[in-house]
Structure formats: C-alpha cells, structure tokens
C-alpha cells in the first residue's frame, strides 16, 4: 500500500498506509516526487485552542459555544502537506488539460500519490521543484502584500520570517517598496531575508526591533507592517513599527486569548488600519473580487516563477525522505532554528 505523512493526534505525526481512491471525471492521479507542508498552522492546530468549547458557524461567521461531547470515535488522520510536484500516471475520463507523463505541481498532500482536479495543477516546465513547493505560502504572501496596498516608494516591515514572511519580504521588494525591514529571532531566516530583498533585519529577542525600524527611517515608522508569525507579541511589534495612518496586515493565525498585545499603546494613538489578508481565513474572496480570484492569483504567482521574477534559493531546507518526516516535525517544535521550510523527496 502507498504511504503518507499524517497527523494522527496532538503533537503526533506518523508515516501510515492509505488506500488509493478512484478517480472522478476531471481528476488525475500523480506519482509524487516532492512535497512540503506548513509549519506554523500545523503546529497551531495540534491543540485546537481556538476550537475548545467552540464551533465556527458559517452563517453568522461567529465562534459560538458548543457543549462538550465525548468523541464518537478517534479522529481520522489529517494531511500534513500543502504543495507537491509529480508525474501524472492516470487521468479521469473527462480530463482535457493533461495526459499521462506530464510533470505538474500544485496543492497536494505529503503522500506517495496525490489525486487532484485537473484545474488545480500547473505545468512544472523549467521551474525548480523546490520553488514550485513555495506556491501555497506564496499565495498568502501575495495577498498580504496586495491587500496591504504596498506602493512604490513606501516602507514595509515584515514580522515573522517563516516561509510566508520570507516570501512577503521578496514580494514587497518586487512591489517597489523603497525600504523593506525583516524581524525574526532566528538568524538563518534574517540572513535569507537580507539576501532576498530586505534592507535590514532585526532580532526582537535582543533589542527593540520596532524602535530600530523607526531609527533607520529617521523617526516615522513604516507605511505597512505585515505580521506573519501568528503570535500576539509579534502583532504588537508590527503595530509599533507602523507610522501614523499606516496599515497593519494581521496575517498570523493567532491562538487563544491575547497576551502581550496593547492596543492602547500605539494602535489607537496612531490611527492605524488593520487588514486580514485573503488566504489567512476561509470562506471569503479577495478584497478586489471579482477582478481577482484564487485562480488568477495562483496563475500570477506561477508566471512570476516562470519568468524568474519570484525566486527563493535555499528557502526549502531541509529535504528529507518520507521516513524522516516525523523527525522534521519534532525539530519544528523543539529546534525551529534548524528548519526554514522542509520538503519530502520521494
């Protein structure tokens, strides 16, 4: 039987067997060559803090109380991946875009084979597989920059340099920002940011990073501060980085009640605008829909990769075989400095 890297319980990731599903009319089966997953969102979901005693009501879009009930059965294993590269081995009866042997990439799980709708894939062509694995985090970074309305000549700070933050640094520089600052406690990430578009990178664990940003700009803060660490102290740092009338992009997936977030210090006094970008929630379109939708955004990102405008050398590190996948998640939790964005190579 084929194998997959699955989340089987809180803080538990295992390699398990799975059964191949039959293909629907517009689906293709792919033999996976490379796959990657998210770090922060996956770790945040281990304990499910935001959903303890609550459920999300899609009609009102509120979290509402739900009486605790014993689970009827153990939860099913969950996927650990977001992006993949592979070769098509089988096509559904109505597939028109692809044929057996085509090498493609798109949104996939970390498993030996993936079944995807034909419209959710792109031809790999000359794109490096490690860059192709960045397509999903690039989607979030893309909307973080676009919906913050970063313009030519403006200044930007990115707080939190996981894959999302590092790609946001790259995209902010591509968008014409005059100054781009990067903030993260891990040195490898800061170094990557400086090599790929950041004018300077600051360590919040050794000093006041927001004050350093203001000092570099001669007093005023940045026009746009993008927070992608998913912690309340990081969001507070982003707020403190912004100038009067600036924009704070809250792209992190925050867990539990706020700690270390002082809205009465800076946010109120500086009349800031806060946006949550498309791609960081669910069930809503981009702000400029219908001109932009999911497909157009992904097509744009892929075109940037294909033209060599969006590159991410060294962002995927480490690359491991499937059997070492559980160990990578242990490192992400306990030794995050050793992992930027992991990939599994089959």
206: three-class secondary structure by DSSP:
coil
- State how far the alpha carbon of 40 is from the alpha carbons of 46, 215, 225, 266, in Å: 10, 30, 19, 27
Residues of the chain with CATH 3.90.180.10: 3-134+312-345
- Note down pLDDT in tens along the chain; length 346 residues: 999 999 998 889 999 999 999 999 999 999 999 999 988 767 766 666 666 777 878 888 887 887 766 666 777 899 999 999 999 999 999 999 999 999 999 999 999 999 999 999 999 999 999 999 999 999 999 999 999 999 999 999 999 999 999 999 999 999 999 999 999 999 999 999 999 999 999 999 999 999 999 999 999 999 999 999 999 999 999 999 999 999 999 999 888 888 878 888 888 889 999 999 998 767 788 999 999 999 999 999 999 999 999 999 999 999 999 999 999 999 998 998 889 999 999 9
Judge: domain 3-134+312-345, CATH 3.90.180.10: yes
What is the pTM (predicted TM-score) of this model?
Answer: 0.92
pLDDT for 49: 64
DSSP result, 130-153 = HHHTTHHHHHHHHHHHHHTT--TT
Beta strands 222-227 and 273-275, pairing class: unpaired
pLDDT for 249: 97
Residues of the chain with CATH 3.40.50.720: 142-275
Q: 142-275 — its CATH code?
A: 3.40.50.720
């Amino acid at each position: 039987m084929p194998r997959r890297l699955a989340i089987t319980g809180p803080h538990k990731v295992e390699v398990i067997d799975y059964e191949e599903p039959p293909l629907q009319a517009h689906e293709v089966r792919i033999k996976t060559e490379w796959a990657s997953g998210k770090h922060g969102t996956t770790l945040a979901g281990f304990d499910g803090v935001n959903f303890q005693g609550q459920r999300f009501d899609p009609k009102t879009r509120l979290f509402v109380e739900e009486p605790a009930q014993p689970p009827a059965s153990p939860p099913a294993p969950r996927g650990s991946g977001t992006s993949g590269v592979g070769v098509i081995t089988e096509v559904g009866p109505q597939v028109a875009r692809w044929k057996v042997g085509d090498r493609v990439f798109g949104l996939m799980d970390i498993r030996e084979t993936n079944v995807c709708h034909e419209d959710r894939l792109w031809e790999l062509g000359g794109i490096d597989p490690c860059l192709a694995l960045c397509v999903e985090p690039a989607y979030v970074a893309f909307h973080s920059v676009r919906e913050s309305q970063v313009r030519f000549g403006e200044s930007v700070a990115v707080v939190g340099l996981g894959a999302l933050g590092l790609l946001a640094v790259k995209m902010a520089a591509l968008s014409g920002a005059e100054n781009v600052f990067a903030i993260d406690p891990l040195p490898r990430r800061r170094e990557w940011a400086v090599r790929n578009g950041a004018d300077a990178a600051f360590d919040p664990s050794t000093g006041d990073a927001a004050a350093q940003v203001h000092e570099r700009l001669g007093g005023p803060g940045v026009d746009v501060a993008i927070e992608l660490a998913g912690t309340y102290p990081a969001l507070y740092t982003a707020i403190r980085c912004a100038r009067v009338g600036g924009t704070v992009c809250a792209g992190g997936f925050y867990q539990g009640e706020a700690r270390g977030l002082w809205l009465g210090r800076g946010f109120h006094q500086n009349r800031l605008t806060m946006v949550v970008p498309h791609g960081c929630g669910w069930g809503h379109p981009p702000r400029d829909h219908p001109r932009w939708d999911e497909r157009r955004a992904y097509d744009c990102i892929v075109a940037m990769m294909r033209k060599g405008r969006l590159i991410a050398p060294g962002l995927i590190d480490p690359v491991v075989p499937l059997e070492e996948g559980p160990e990578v998640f242990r490192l992400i939790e306990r030794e995050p400095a050793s992992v930027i964005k992991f990939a599994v190579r089959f």
